[in-house]
Amino acid sequence: MTSTIDDLIDAMTLEEQVSLLSGEDFWSLPAVERLGTGKLRVTDGPNGARGGGGLVGGVKATAFPVGISLGATWNVELLHEVGAALAEDTKSKNAHMLLAPTVNIQRSVTNGRNFECYSEDPILTAELAVAYIGGLQENGIAATIKHFAGNESEIERTTMSSQIDERSLREVYLIPFEWAVKKAGTKGVMTAYNKVNGTYASEHNWLLTEVLRGEWGFDGIVMSDWFGSHSTAPTVNAGLDLEMPGPPRDRGEKLVAAVEAGEVSRDTIRGRVRSILSVMEWTGALNDHRPFQERAEDRPEHRRLIRRAGAEGMVLLKNQNILPLAPGQRVAVIGPNAKAAQIMGGGSSQLNPHYRVSPWQGLVEALGEEALSYAPGCGNNRFEPLLQAPLTVEFFDNRTLEGPVVATETIQAAETFWVGAVADGKIPATYFSARLTGQFTPERSGTHRVGIASAGLARVFVNGRLIADAWTNWTKGRTFFEEGCDEVVGEIELEAGKPANITIDFATKDHSVLGLAALRMGIGLPLGADDITHAAAIASEADVALVFIGRNGEWDTEGSDLPEIALPGDQNALVAAIAEANPKTVVVLQSGGPVEMPWIDRVAGLVQAWYPGQEAGNAIADVLTGAAEPGGRLPQTFPVRWSDNPAFSQDPLVYPGQDGRVEYREGLLVGYRHYDNHGIDPLFPFGFGLSYTSFAYDNLTIDRSRIAAAAVNVTLDVRNTGDRAGSTVVQLYITPDNPPLKRPQKELKAFAKVALEPGESRRASFDLDARAFSYFDVDAQLWVAAPGNYTLTVATDAVTPIASERVTLTERVEQRP
């Protein structure tokens, strides 16, 4: 560490040192004004740099594809590009660190945050994370890899203990973090909310000090997730540098007192401060005295990158000679996601995008509106449709809606998060009340449903009548990061075209863990059986029917796992009806993970489009029309049914958890490993995806010249045998023939994305080192490549081998972790 930083620490009082170990506000650390330091500012990611605004509203930002969409690209070079572009967007928000990437493993198909993660496989996740971090940090923005560790579910995540044996931790869940430190040099690590084997991750000495710093050599900032620190001395002593957000809850004066009482040493404080200052120096924050200003930069090159990345992540799962669409066809555009731009998931990765392109808009641009017809068919909302209308918000400096109005503002929709302070900073966001007023004009007459969900007390009046009451008997539920109630719904008759007056009363209440206030109010007229019948009639008159179904950010969201993986609402019935009306039906699925597909044999085509960012509709239209190739391969196994999933169990201790514990009893058998070892056929296997062209694979060769060190080089010729440009993903799996202890049947150890013009050939090459052959010996605390035979299989997915060769390791090779 430079003498400059040590000199700076020496010049600080204890109070000034301690001030740097917690946030000043929601997004920044305090400056030490006496010594002229700047402020370190962070912003949320990973699919965009949101800036200092809330989860809705605020300065506009660029919405990139979500994690699972990027994971489906299997393209490390593309992830590097995305990281570099996000560095530019982070700078536009006057921030120095991006809270990204998210690299937790997709253990369960129902995890609400799967959309934010790359894959069920640790190697694919690690490779992509390293590239993403490289793109960020080569452009001066510090990455903050998260959530360390064991956050594979959103159920009671702030208190749940993930019970994971050390071997599974080492071989599965820690690998992306290890690679991020050792290969990418990540400057930040964020701890998970949950406990790991009984100890909160934010005060877990083994994770933070022994493994992260001691074994891996991490020298950056370890920060808590927001409100994820639960103690003073234990977190500091365990290795947590930074408590976020501010103002401090567990540090500040409490930490000064702990030092003076001898509970925390001054050397420990110096070490934590040194970590903070080193990253501030690296990012330039230490001497950054620019006035704080956030800019909305909608760059054309970012638009192009998002559109290209979105298409490259789309996975063609079925194609009976129907895609790409032939020119001149009449196309029926059906479904709840057809005119809704589902560009991202829910939770802390949300942002206010520059724009949203729906599939309908993308197809209008590509085909012309005269070629299209439309019907929604059914809905897929988890909540009642959000009220999209201006609302006046009046704030009161109490929880009783009494006294003078201290501030007024206008919001454009009935969804808002309040954090830090409200009313122009006059009132803390944990203690106030507000009245929101506006209007709703129905498009159709009928019985409308009115819903309210809130982190705080809330009630909705329509034309002066109380319709939805989440105030009188408020009960904690699964909204707003488990700080909110489940939606409370009431009904009222409304007349088409006649405005209805809406009033929402809100008051804060004591929170559980996260200091936020929030509400969401929706109103709508439900669709019914007649709407499916009408959609089928529209489809029957078209040459091709495109059905846009799936989920949205209400379902795929931080803070709430999915109740199941069946499609919500009447979407299965809709697909069945459309397929019956028109055999040339293509389903375009948008979701953050697998869904059950009882209709799969009745449709001609299926594209998994994920949540591909603000260019969603254009990227989808590019793939459907053939302007772009569907370049994706599944980063997660799609099971036939939910019960096939590795974490599914009749014992709630395995999932979703019980009495504050969730046991990872499947051990190493996560994802495709589970299906292999239990002989379960998936609906679509890990790594699967079709193309608009074809490929040949030849001449598998293995260089064994370094076999004594348990290292080999594998090469293979790949040739595009079709008449279109396209890409394939060559996957290399290793199977130990007779391992000294139980191992998965096979494990992905390397892959290559190969893009080729028609007739073009290229040689794919894979370097495997000893770690590729190793298991972790917990007793010896060593990585061990055991002597014996190993089968190396090159494949196009987890169940489709191309060629295989056997290699023999004659020596035991050991490595320290």
Which of helix, strand or coil describes residue 449? strand
Distance CA 119, CA 115 (A): 9
Omega before residue 245 within 30° of 0, cis: yes
Collect all residues with Cβ–Cβ distance below 8 Å to 571 and sequence separation of at least 6: 335, 336, 378, 380, 549, 550
Integer Cα distance of 9 and 274 in angstroms: 7
Closest CA to 155 of 108, 207, 115, 198: 108
**By the 8 A CB rule, do 164 and 107 touch?**
no
Closest Cα to residue 86, out of 142, 6, 148?
142
For residue 324, whether the previous peptide bond is cis, meaning omega lies within 30 degrees of 0, is yes
d(CA 434, CA 473): 19
Q: List phi, psi (to 5°) of 708.
A: -65, -25
Write the DSSP symbol of residue 287: G
Angle, in degrees to the nearest 10, between helices 529-540 and 571-581: 30
- Dihedral angle over CA of 428, 432, 435, 436, nearest 10: 30
CA gap 808, 793 in Å, rounded: 14
What Cα–Cα distance (Å) separates residue 293 from each residue in 203, 419, 662? Answer: 35, 19, 44
The H or E element containing residue 433 is strand 433-440
Active-site annotation holds for 225: yes
Single out the residue of 82, 605, 620, 756 nearest to residue 314, CA to CA: 620
Closest by CA to 545, choosing from 358, 319, 357, 373, is 373
The residue count for the chain: 817
Distance CA 104, CA 90 (A): 23
> What DSSP character marks residue 567?
P
CA 564 to chain centre: 18
Helix-helix angle 76-92:300-313, to 10 degrees: 140
- What is the DSSP secondary structure assignment for residue 102, as one 8-state letter? B
Q: How far apart are CA 346 and CA 389, in angstroms?
A: 21
Given 25, 44, 225, 556, the catalytic residue: 225
| Three-class DSSP category at 788 | strand
761-768 and 712-720: which strand pairing? Answer: antiparallel
Strand partners, 718: 697, 762
Which amino acid, residue 183?
A: K
Question: What is the chain's Cα-based Rg?
Answer: 27
Exposure class string for 672-708: b at 16+ Cβ within 10 A, else e: bbbbbbeebebbbbbbbbbbbbebebeebebeeeeee
Beta bridge partners of 792: 734, 805
Q: DSSP states of 671-726 as a string?
A: THHHHHHHTPPPSB-TT--B-SS-EEEEEEEEE-TTGGGT-EEEEEEEEE-SSS-E
Measure the CA–CA gap between 194 and 196, rounded to whole angstroms: 7
Contact indicator for 44, 64 with CB cutoff of 8 Å: no
Helices (H), 20-154: 67-73, 76-92, 122-137
Nearest to 106 by CA among 97, 98, 115: 115
Nearest to residue 586, comparing CAs of 609, 565, 562, 567? Answer: 609
**Residues with active-site annotation:** 225
